[in-house]
Chain A
Amino acid sequence: MSTTEGTLHAGAIAVPPVPPRDGDPEVTAELVADHGLSGEEYERIRRIMGRAPTFTELGVFSAMWSEHCGYKNSRRLLRLLPTEAPWVIQGPGENAGVIDIGDGYALAFKIESHNHPSAVEPYQGAATGVGGILRDIFTMGARPIAVLDSLRFGDLDSGRVRYLFAGVVSGVGDYGNCVGIPNIGGEVAFDRGYEGNPIVNAMCLGLMKREELITASASGAGSPLMAVGARTGRDGIHGATFASEELSEDSDEASRPQVQVGDPFTEKLLLEASLELIASGAITGIQDMGAAGITSSASEMAGRGGSGVEIDTARVPVREPGMTPYEILLSESQERMLVVAEKGKEDEVRRILEKWELEAAVIGHVTEDGRFRVLEHGVVVADIPALPLTQGCPTYEREGVESEHVRSLREKDLAEHLSPEGDLGDRFLRLLGSPNIASKRWIYGQYDTTVRSSTAVRPGGDAGVVRIRGTRRAVAATTDCNGRFVYLEPRRGAHIAVAEAARNLVCAGALPTAITNNLNFGNPLKPHIYYQFREAVLGMAEACQAFETPVTGGNVSFYNETDGRAIYPTPVIGMVGVVEDIDHITSHAFRNEGDAIVLLGANDAEMGGSEYLYVTAGLVAGRPPSVDLMAERSLQQAVLGMIHEGLLRSAHDCSDGGLAATLAEAALGDGESPWGIEVALDDDLPPVGVLFAETQGRIVVSCDPDHAGAVLRIAEIHEVPARVIGTVGRPGGDLNLRLTRGFVSVPAARAAEAYFQAIPSIMDAPATAGA
């Protein structure tokens, strides 16, 4: 700590003067502003340097002190999240979090956003998002075993939105398919709140033996630094800074050069080469050149290792001649790694890379002077103290005030929507056919879900599950966040996001274990946005504490605004869980005619923020459903207990679309043989509330009727309300729901058509003239 403090006040230490490089612009106040740095931040840089920075140094600072790399508006609040547990091996601060999953294995996992690039160039933006997250995992020494994607778009009636949606899906798919990592789940939502600024978050899980863990730090003075993989080009320069700005009408054209281009084939080679390098013992550290490229990878490795680095940009393999040190340092060309080799083992590194038809070049070495020094043909062009660069980014706590508009939306009286005119069956079908509820097969049908031959539960259910070969174990993963709930009441919305993720995991038979989060928000300098952020982080911290699911890392994406309009605050929870025995793996679909259907948890008529309101009235309003975190925890434990006893045939979480959607999804399964159901609900509530409210804390399970008593007993032990609500009918029968004040009957085939055809009928329709 004392070293940190000492170095942070490096103003006293004389930084050698670096003469301006020929051809570089002069550092003016305007140039500083163009780099996204405030006057105050620039003064801080001057104090650290003891002089004015050069153009190259300014570029380096602006990247490292961007929101994307420096977390300047989030770091203080993020400290409130619980990050520790006995099973956490690596918490926040590395390329990825790592947890112990038993039997000698560790799981690395992380989620990351690529929202801005995807808004401008959906295919490449999404593809490189997947590429980046894969590299974060395999640079930990773990082999990627699964990918998930969490997506948000505007409503599909817009041609532009359909273009973004189709492009993102094929970008996510093509990249993961080519590298050969199965996609096991994720989520997508469509709402006008994301028009213009889609959300593209990709999550990856990687498996390793505990002892294979390697971290990204540079130590050992004189150890060579090697650039590995693809060459450095002019693409993506200042991507990190770009990600820290709002989008505008002009972003499309002007920003395209800041979007990187992906090459999954090179990534696959890099993956194999990296794992071979790590196994060889020829390297001591490895890091992806992700956001802010060589600058962040080299300075962060030096910062973590408590050492320094010296790099000569003239030795970096480049795609085109004439690149300046500034460009080389800030390029975000994809599929590149920075490796710290053991001194004297450079040739072994080269030999491994050569086998995989990749390049490796020594571009510098580790020093012990704590400096991030950059040369060009031996001439110093940047010389910065590494620790203040990586750790000294100023952090801010902003003013947070709730928007009056949101408050009034939340307080809106929804009574009229509880007793609508018209047929409930029609409303049920409309809801099943809403792209938010409907089957997402159109999406995951483009993703390879079975490569690696380990996928036990594919996308389409509550959580994806991958078995661990050679053990009885499996891991489950899910991503969740209902942005409408977070918008209407951020703290409660965050509770719901964490609770839903945990419910999804237990429905698959897994114990919720840890979290990676992707905090997608608008501009934090606006008080109502900072309010959303603060409340959501607080809510997340409370829920993570309640469920004992620490946060091991993640990503913050601010400035998700288009022309001043922010997205719904969307703190995506990526949660992983451990299945102790593959016999516990459970899926959401009913499996046998005559099975008992049991509802765990209590119904209520909480319509706030529901999909029903959006579909029937175009409304995002009301108070989100209440959450009792302790009751949620009991529900999770009860369901896991039932699964461990071998009592359940299926388990499905109740969320978007309410109980009606949950029952329909369990009945329709993968569409091959939709079951009828006979359900009776005796709640003294308005029918709309029983069917479509998104009340929390509910799971629908099915079991052999002979086991229903045992299921109810376990629920009782955990003080979870439970009742048998019906039975699974015959294949192709009707979905019959009897209520105290109403009756809904829909043929399973009609429900299946609404549910499975909704997205294809929009996306595969021939384009109409002028659209």
Chain B
Amino acid sequence: MRVAVVTFPGSNCDYDLYKAVQLVGGEPTFVWHRDRQLAGYDAVMLPGGFSYGDYLRAGAIARMSPIMDDVVAFAHRGGPVLGICNGFQILCEAGLLPGALVRNASLRFESKDVHIRVERADTLFTSDYDHGRVLRIPIAHGEGNYEAGEATLEQLEGDGRVAFRYVSADGEVTEAANPNGSWHNIAGIVNDRGNVLGMMPHPERATEAILGSTDGLGLFTSMLRSLAPAAA
């Protein structure tokens, strides 16, 4: 699996993502946003961080970077695109995913481990997980409160496009388990074709026992398996 980890000025989880891809046996490459080189990659990942300092609005400036045209084209061709945290915000700003991520309900940056439930185990990002499994994964964001219009939410739920939901440790959707006020406790969604995933929690930070959790590994192994069926 050849992965382009796209970096913008202000990306800061790029290295973590690179290492996570490497850990499962993928081949990551950093692609600087001005270089516009996405040919030959099996997947594109947009890392977390503060692209352009979150100035104006998280992801709002990065989405105008020339490479986003290439990312959009890549996604429209059916290529897998994963956006984590700021990457998710950029995907929403770029129109690859519906809705928006607004200021956390607490009005503060929230950094802690959360529990999320796998709502879809049949996407190329989640096939190694069992449906309904509860994962323990860190979050670290100030603007992760997922919002969308009623119609969009209905469509997302109706089509089963909510990939992850914030839950309690025993898997219940509760208000207390929702760290940022996201509607319907949404932590991650996919596009209608299922080849674009955006999520606020950081699976790349939960890939080794020394970090406190390995629950994020499945995301990367799922992608590896889906994209290299022969090797699996």
Interface, chain A (partner B; CB < 8 A)? 170, 173-174, 177-180, 263-266, 268-269, 355-357, 444-456, 458, 467, 469, 582, 585, 672
CB pair B210–A177 under 8 Å, yes or no, is no
Collect the chain B residues with CB atoms within 8 Å of residue A447's CB. 109, 111
Give the distance in Å from the alpha carbon of A229 to the alpha carbon of B52 in the complex: 15
> For the complex, is B183 an interface residue (Cβ under 8 Å from A)?
no
Which residues of chain B from 1 to 48 have any CB-CB distance to chain A below 8 Å in the complex? 9-10, 12-13, 15-16, 19-20, 32, 48
A456 in contact with B54 (CB, 8 Å): no
Is A170 within 8 A of B111, CB to CB? no
Interchain residue pairs A-B with the least CB separation, the first 5? A180-B12, A265-B53, A448-B140, A453-B16, A178-B50
Q: Is A264 a contact of B12 with CB atoms below 8 Å?
A: no
Q: Which of the listed residues A178, A448, A452 has the most CB atoms from chain B within 10 Å of its own CB?
A: A448
Interface contact A170-B211, CB-CB below 8 Å:
no
Query: In the docked arrangement, what's the CA distance between A391 and B13, Å?
Result: 42
Cβ 8 A contact of B211, one of A174, A356, A453 = A453
Q: How far is the CB of A717 from chain B (nearest CB, A)?
A: 30
Cβ B108 vs Cβ A170 within 8 A: yes
Contact A452 B111 (CB under 8 A): no
Q: Is the CB of A180 within 8 A of B211?
A: no
Q: Is the CB of A265 within 8 A of B50?
A: yes
CB distance from A501 to the nearest CB of B (A): 24
Q: Return the chain B residue nearest A454 by Cβ.
A: B211
Contact pick for A180, options B13, B20, B138, CB 8 Å: B13
Q: How far is the CA of A180 from the CA of B49 in the complex (A)?
A: 7
- Choose one: B15, B55, B109, B111; the contact of A450 (CB below 8 Å): B111
Q: Which positions in B face A, CB cutoff 8 Å?
A: 9-10, 12-13, 15-16, 19-20, 32, 48-50, 52-55, 108-112, 138, 140, 142, 169, 202, 204-205, 207-208, 210-212
> Of A263, A445, A453, which one neighbours B53 at CB under 8 angstroms?
A263
Q: Are B111 and A446 in contact (CB under 8 A)?
A: yes
- Name the residue on A nearest B34 (C-beta): A355
Of listed A173, A445, A453, A455, residue having the most chain B CB within 10 A: A453
Give CA–CA (A435, B48) in the complex, Å.
33
A-side contacts of B110, CB under 8 Å = 445-446
Q: Specify which chain B residues have a CB less than 8 angstroms from the CB of A446 in the assembled complex.
A: 108-111
Residues on B with beta carbons closer than 8 Å to the beta carbon of A357: 9
Complex CA distance for A240 and B111, rounded to whole angstroms = 34
Contact yes or no, B13 A582, CB < 8 A: no
A453 touches B52 (CB 8 A): no
Q: A178-B10, A269-B10, A356-B9 are in contact. Are A453 and B204 (CB under 8 A)?
A: yes
List, in ascending order, chain B residues with CB within 8 A of A452's CB.
15-16
Question: With a CB–CB cut-off of 8 A, which chain A residues contact B20?
Answer: 453
Closest Cβ of chain A to B108, distance in Å, is: 5
**Minimum CB–CB distance for A449 against chain B, Å:** 6
- Chain A residues, CB < 8 A from B50: 177-178, 180, 264-265, 268
- A368–B49 Cα distance when bound, in Å, is 44
Query: A456–B211 contact, CB under 8 A?
Result: yes
Assembled-state Cα–Cα distance A263/B10 (Å): 12
In the bound complex, do residue A174 and residue B109 qualify as a contact, i.e. CB atoms below 8 Å apart? yes
Q: Which residue of the partner chain A has the closest CB to B111? A: A448
| Measured CA separation A356–B8 after assembly (Å) | 10
> B142 CB to closest chain A CB, in angstroms?
8
**Contact partner of B10 among A170, A268, A455, CB < 8 A?**
A268
- B211 pairs with A265, CB closer than 8 A: no
**Cβ distance B218 to chain A, nearest Cβ, rounded Å:** 16
Q: Which residues of A contact B204 (CB under 8 A)?
A: 453
Residues in A neighbouring B9, C-beta threshold 8 A: 265, 268-269, 356-357
- Closest approach, in angstroms, between the C-beta of B199 and any C-beta of chain A? 15
* Chain B residues positioned under 8 Å from A174 (CB to CB): 109, 142
Query: Bound state CA distance, A467 and B208, in angstroms?
Result: 12
Q: Are A265 and B108 in touch, CB under 8 angstroms?
A: no
Chain A residue with Cβ nearest B208? A453
Asked whether B10 lies within 8 Å of A265 as measured between CB atoms, the reply is yes
Contacts A356-B9, A357-B9, A451-B12 given: A265-B55 contact, CB under 8 Å? Answer: yes
Q: Are B109 and A453 touching (Cβ within 8 A)?
A: no
Chain A residues contacting B212 (CB-CB under 8 Å) are 458
Residues in B neighbouring A173, C-beta threshold 8 A: 109
Q: Shortest Cβ distance from B139 into chain A, in angstroms?
A: 9
- List, in ascending order, chain B residues with CB within 8 A of A180's CB: 12-13, 49-50
Complex A-B: 18 CB contacts under 8 Å: A170-B108, A170-B109, A177-B111, A178-B50, A178-B53, A180-B13, A180-B49, A265-B50, A265-B53, A268-B9, A450-B202, A450-B211, A451-B13, A451-B140, A451-B205, A452-B16, A453-B205, A582-B210
Please measure, in the bound complex, the distance between the C-alpha atom of A264 and the C-alpha atom of B52, giving whole angstroms: 10
Which residues from chain B contact A266 at a C-beta distance below 8 Å? 53
Query: Which one of A179, A444, A449, A453 lies within 8 Å of B207 (CB-CB)?
Result: A453
The residue among A264, A451, A456 with the most chain B CB atoms within 10 A of its own CB is A451
Chain A nearest Cβ from B13, distance in angstroms: 6
* Option from B55, B138, B140, B207 in Cβ contact (under 8 Å) with A177: B140
Shortest Cβ distance from B108 into A: residue: A446
User: In the complex the two chains form, what is the Cα distance from A269 to B202 in whole Å?
Assistant: 23
Closest to B140 in A: A448
Q: Which residue of A lies closest to B20 (CB)?
A: A453
* CA–CA, A452 and B13, complex, Å: 7
Q: Are B210 and A467 in contact (CB under 8 A)?
A: yes
With A445-B112, A449-B111, A452-B16 known to touch, is A178 a contact of B54 (CB < 8 Å)?
yes
Give bound CA distance, A455 to B142, whole Å.
20
Closest to A143 in B: B15
In the bound complex, how far is the Cα of B53 from the Cα of A467, in angstroms? 27
The smallest beta-carbon distance between B128 and chain A, in angstroms, is: 20
CB closest chain-A residue, reference B47 = A180
Contact at A179–B12, with CB atoms within 8 Å?
yes
B192 to A: closest C-beta gap in Å: 32
**Residue numbers in A under 8 Å from B12 (CB-CB):** 178-180, 268, 451
In the complex, what distance in Å separates the CA atom of A357 from the CA atom of B169?
Answer: 44
A sample of 10 more A-B contacts (CB under 8 A), given A174-B142, A444-B111, A451-B12, is A173-B109, A177-B111, A179-B12, A265-B9, A268-B53, A356-B9, A445-B111, A453-B211, A455-B211, A456-B210
Q: How far is the CB of B64 from chain A (nearest CB, A)?
A: 14
- CB nearest neighbor in A for B15: A452
A246 to B20, CA, bound (A): 50
Specify which of B53, B207, B212 lies most central, judged by the most chain A CB atoms within 10 Å of its CB. B53
B138 (CB) vs chain A CBs: closest residue: A450
Contacts of B19 in A (CB 8 A): 453, 469
How far, in whole Å, are A502 and B111 apart by their CA atoms in the complex? Answer: 28
* List of B residues within 8 angstroms of A268 by Cβ: 9-10, 12, 50, 53
Q: List the A side residues contacting B32 at CB < 8 Å.
A: 355
| Chain B residues closer than 8 Å to A458, beta-carbon distance | 212
Complex CA gap A448/B140 in Å reads: 6
Task: Name which residue of chain B comes closest to A444, CB basis.
Answer: B111
Chain B residues near A264 (CB-CB < 8 A): 50, 53
Inside 8 A of A445's CB, which chain B residues have their CB? 108, 110-112
Q: Which of B16, B54, B169 contacts A451 (CB 8 A)?
A: B16
Complex CA gap A418/B118 in Å reads 56
Instruction: State the Cβ distance, A433 to closest chain B Cβ, in Å.
Output: 21
Residues of chain B within 8 A (CB-CB) of A179 are 12
- For the complex formed, measure the closest distance between the CB of B52 and the CB atoms of chain A, giving whole angstroms: 7
Return the chain B residue nearest A269 by Cβ: B9
- Chain B residues whose CB sits within 8 angstroms of the CB of A672 once the complex forms: 169
Q: How far is it, in angstroms, between the C-alpha of A177 and the C-alpha of B139 when the chains are bound?
A: 12
Closest residue of chain A to B109 (Cβ to Cβ) is A446
A452 to B16, CA, bound (A): 6
- Chain A residues with Cβ below 8 Å from B111 are 177, 444-450
> Which of B13, B48, B52, B140 interacts with A265 by CB under 8 Å?
B52
**Would you call A450 and B207 a contact (CB within 8 A)?**
no
- Closest Cβ of chain B to A490, distance in Å, is 37
A449 CA / B140 CA spacing, docked (Å): 8
